[in-house]
Amino acid sequence: MVSLEQIRKISTEDLLSLGMKDVAYLKTVEVDGGTVVGIFAANGQQLALLPDRNAAIATAVENGLAPVTLH
């Protein structure tokens, strides 16, 4: 079991890497005057742009990622 003290000692780099391989963050993005849904890694790197939320969720899941919506 991880102690509270161990959690407090987590580095910024370790914190940023949490979820990098497992989570895809979905966020509405404006591109060329239109709205699309972006898929982003935990570090903020844009992975893909899709035409709608359903396509973004399907793409994330097909690639082994758990989609999480950002507002």
What DSSP state is assigned to residue 64? T
**Under a CB-based contact definition with an 8 Å cutoff, are residues 36 and 51 in contact?**
yes
**Which pTM value belongs to this model?**
0.73
Confidence of residue 9 (pLDDT cuts 50, 70, 90): confident
Predicted confidence (pLDDT) at residue 22 exceeds the cutoff of 70: yes
Average pLDDT over residues 52-64: 96
**How many whole angstroms separate alpha carbon 55 and alpha carbon 41?**
17
Each residue's pLDDT tens digit, 26-35: 999 999 999 9
